[in-house]
Amino acid sequence: MEHVKDSKTGSSGSPIQLTANYFRILSRPQWVLYQYHVDYKPPMESRRLRSALLFQHEEALGSARSFDGALLFLPHRLHSKETVLHSETRNGEKVQITVTLTNELPPTSPVCIQFYNIIFRRILRILNMQQIGRNYYNPDYAFNIPQHKLTIWPGYTTAILHYEHSIMLSIDVSHRVLRSETVLDFMGSLRQQCGNQRFPEICAKELIGLIVLTKYNNKTYRIDDIAWDHSPNNTFKRGDSDISFKNYYKSVGVSHSTQVLLVSHVKRLGPAGAPPPGPAMLIPELCYLTGLTDKMRADFTIMKDLSGHTKLTPEQREERLNKFVMNIQKDADAQAELDKWGLNFDKMLLNLNGRVLPAEKIFQGSRSWAKEMRGMSLISSPPLDNWIIFHTRRNGNEAQSLLQTLQKVSGPLGIHIKRPIMVQYEDQQESLLRSLQQNVGPQMQMVVVVLPNNRKDKYDSVKKYLCVDCPVSSQCVISRTLSRPHTLMTVATKIAMQMVCKMGGELWSVEIPLKHLMIVGIDCYHDTTAGKRSIGALVASLNQSMSRWFSKCVLQHKGQEIMDGLKMALSAALRDYLKFNNCLPSRIIVYRDGVGDGQLHSVVNYEVTQIMDSINLSFIIIVVVVKKRISSRFFARIEGNTTNPPPGTVIDSDVTRPEWYDFYIVSQAVRVGSVSPTHYNVVYDTSGLKPDHMQRLTYKLCHMYYNWQVVNFLYLEPNVLLDDLLFYL
């Protein structure tokens, strides 16, 4: 990418002063990390024994050291390149240790960066924080929500990396939601609800795939199976003798001897040369459920009470981050550990410059709008002549209210709606499916189903029938959503627009200056709970206004992220583009979602190769990796207050990576909490587009997802979001 070799930053937009959740790492001048290889004669198998023998020589090595069993890291150089030490085991065996200098690592080397992260994890442990998964949490400052039997552990997600001009600690506030009930409590209440006969089947369905926490060691495990034929009285090998699970956990106490055991296939390493150990067997009584169920997420009261603790305003988030670094500097043990290595952290969050891109004009019908659009005609809307509404007897009033409001809002939007067929069904899944089979045919344009609740199995059965068995456009709506008169106009407007989209209509557009452009979105979905095969999805734009899309799904191996069937899917998209436009695109921009940093080379070497095989060499190709779940946060100082940056804020310096062509865009506003930016990394580019043009085009596309009607709720390109929707159909 020669065109960004000299500069990968843009210049358009108005400047804005920002603060980011990064702290610079400060080290003494000419700081170097010395790497040594350690040999033992005779060889020692036990890593713990190797460490104990080596650390007998603190006088020669110093107190600052890091040893993984083979490699030793020191902040200073030993007198000789090869140092020979002599130790003795408890059994009186003489051991010769040879410490050989193998490398001098500058602060920016990958090994050094990894070492920084190891040292920082030590600091977190010194502060009495507990590791759960990849992050560290502080149980001493837990928030209890007794009315919902929930506990929140506050913590931090951290990473030290080499950024544009310096090595920095990226840190963000994290929360772990724990439930006060154990797995045994959950199983007991489940047995009461469903009875003994169906209990094993329903219990496996509810538990397998969940993450549990064992408080005796603060570790998390994924439940992979239930050992119905095991109990705490079963034994396992411990050393040379057998011990029961009940006796093994005697210190924490096991009171129910008849409970079954849970199976977790954790990745564990056994002794060298020995067969790998089996799965971890967990006792339900000692396992606490983590996270939220779908039922909890649907409960407004629970989510509101949780958000009071977890959704921090920019000011609260900034205050908590500053307080955390201050605690490190005040803690004598933590500071002593950093001083040993000649390291420290900046006391202030990183200040940097951003830019706010100009607001985009959105065209609807013959006019443009900024916010209010209910009274304006859509670009195109097919007439809705043959459609049907299904409802239960209990929800008949809500269905009538929906119909009347749809007729009221459709006129100003330019949607011609005839009166539908109204069908009443019994509030049972079988009755609903039977009603669909009897009343829906291939000539039907739209099926609207008013569901009495948000039960997933009922929704899934509707979508399966109307997507697979009898493909017809459909719209499901929960009756509770229609029972609030003050929001019914807004709800009906959104439903009307979704129905128009599903029938092939176009709502609005933005000006796209590049002609003959195809935008492609690619993502992969992994259903880990059901253990099913992964699905790769591709969507591609078919017209200049980016309002019509091609889509295709490809089945892949379980857990596979890199997409195999890309060549076939893109070739089909190009055929549709040719049919729609009577010509092929001259530019293809691919937005690739869901790829980790370690897979970037695979995307370039494997997926880009498939793209190139699908087209001729005259095409201009750009591949952009999109990351939504990132820990970067940016804060703006406006009128003396710490607030979220406005939509359209671009950050392309300081917190970008020197080896990448990347940038961040804040493309939405939020009413509660801190805004999440999206990270874009251009990994392949033959276009020669300036960074300004790439950033402006990406921001324009953020306006083209029809499920959100105002710029305040923009998040990602429509192609990335459409990929996500494809997976659930």
Round the CA-based radius of gyration of the chain to a whole number and report it: 30
CATH for 107-347? Answer: 2.170.260.10
Judged by phi (left if over 0) then psi (alpha if -120 to 50, else beta), residue 179 lies in: beta
Q: Which two tokens stand for residue 238?
A: 């411990």
Q: Looking at the predicted structure, is the pLDDT value of residue 205 above 90? A: no
Surface-to-core class of residue 655, CB atoms within 10 Å of its CB (0-12 exposed, 13-18 middle, 19+ buried): buried
How many CB atoms lie under 10 A from the CB of residue 700?
A: 20
Place of tokens 């400060």: 26
CATH for 376-502? Answer: 3.40.50.2300
pLDDT of residue 180: 85
pLDDT of residue 583: 92
Q: Does domain 33-105 have CATH number 3.40.50?
A: no
Which position has the higher pLDDT, 610 or 711? 610
Q: What does the pLDDT look like over 147-177, one tens digit per residue?
A: 998 999 999 999 999 999 999 999 999 999 9
- Find the mean pLDDT for residues 28-40: 89
Q: Strands of 526-629 (E only): list them.
A: 535-541, 549-555, 587-593, 620-627
pLDDT of residue 705: 82
Fold of the 510-630+677-727 domain: Nucleotidyltransferase; domain 5 (3.30.420)
- Find the mean pLDDT for residues 656-665: 95
Q: Strands of 614-666 (E only): list them.
A: 620-627, 634-638, 641-643, 649-651, 662-666
pLDDT of residue 724: 55
How many CB atoms lie under 10 A from the CB of residue 516?
A: 14
Least confident of 21-35, 245-259, 290-304, 518-532: 518-532
Any idea where the domains of the chain sit in the sequence?
A: 33-105, 107-347, 376-502, 510-630+677-727
Taking each continuous run of H as one helix and of E as one strand, the counts in the chain are 19, 39
Sequence-separated (6 or more) residues with CB below 8 Å from residue 221: 211, 212, 214, 262, 264, 266, 280, 282, 287
Q: Which of 138-142, 267-271, 563-567, 652-656 has the highest mean pLDDT?
A: 652-656
Same fold across 107-347 and 376-502: no
CA 442/CA 462 separation, integer angstroms: 15
Q: What does the pLDDT look like over 318-335, one tens digit per residue?
A: 999 999 999 999 999 999
